[in-house]
Chain A
Amino acid sequence: MTIRVSVQTTIFSMDAELPRLMQGGQEAGGVGAFLGVVRGGAGLRALTLEHYPGMTESMIGRIAAEAQTRFGLSGCTIIHRVGRLTVGEPIVLVLCLAAHRAAALDATAFVMDWLKTRAPFWKREEFEDGRTAWVEAREADDIAASRWARDGRPG
């Protein structure tokens, strides 16, 4: 089982991350993947992501460990970028290595739902006209995360 967690300003590469994830996963049958990018529209120019150093890594590590236990993963990579990111730039990468498709895809959704509600990140929007505004938490994200709350949640 390989868990890799990184919070970084620099860009990540799926090509580089896949072989790292596959190490030690001889019996794996597939990789669930989510690559999030900064969504444009409504005059958005960029997002600046702030986080709580130390707590962020520890919470993401717990989310990965929970996904590993719950879905029987043989590998999990979670990379989240911080700092200023312009529209279209990659922001988050989740890779879940499992024996079968359902576990790989479910684990990926599980990790994303928990990242949005339990990892201490905050987004500030920057618009073309120079305005900035902190993004407000979405109730829909809490509802999405609560569907996994069967037997406790990471944290």
Chain B
Amino acid sequence: MEGVPVITILYFAWLRDRLGRSSESMPLPEGARCVGDVIRSLAGREGEYQAVFGTQGGVVRCAVNQEFASPEDGVRAGDEIAFFPPVTGG
């Protein structure tokens, strides 16, 4: 649909397990300008979202368009926003 600003959200590792999905497409929350606004919107959902993005939000990391980001970083329609725990590779 023309004109509806949408963002893609990806979840990895235990966030995906807890939330029961690996991705979703959602309208950019009204007035949302930064990652923190998106986090607050997700934390406002019921169930696991509230736990993952509210009380445990401190350990969640994020990336915008595949670059590590912080809550102050901006978001725009069409962005790919990923949420995940601290990385444990190597």
Contacts and interface: CB of A to CB of B under 8 A. Distances in A.
B8 to A, nearest CB: 12
B88 A52 contact: no
A112 B66 contact: no
Interface string B5-30: 00000101110010000000000000
A52 B90 contact: no
Contacts of A112: 90
B85 interface: yes
A134 B90 contact: no
A135 interface: yes
A65 interface: no
Interface residues of A, number: 28
**A119, A120, A136 — which one has the most chain B CB atoms within 10 A of its CB?**
A120
B85 A52 contact: no
Interface string A121-134: 11110000000001
Contact of A155 (B12, B17, B68, B86): B68
B9 to A, nearest CB: 13
A49 B13 CA distance: 9
Nearest to B65: A55
A51 interface: yes
- For chain B, the bracket of interface size reads 10 to 19
Given A52-B63, A55-B63, A58-B66, A119 B82 contact: no
**Secondary structure of the A contact surface, majority rule:** mixed
Contacts of B67: 55, 155
Interface in A95-132: 112, 115-124
A141 B89 CA distance: 10
A115 B82 contact: no
B4 interface: no
A136 B88 contact: yes
Contacts of B17: 134
Given A58-B66, A120-B63, A52 B10 contact: yes
A63 to B, nearest CB: 11
A121 B14 contact: no
Given A120-B12, A122-B12, A122-B13, A52 B82 contact: yes
A152 to B, nearest CB: 14
Interface of A: 36, 49-52, 54-55, 58, 80, 92, 112, 115-124, 134-138, 141, 155
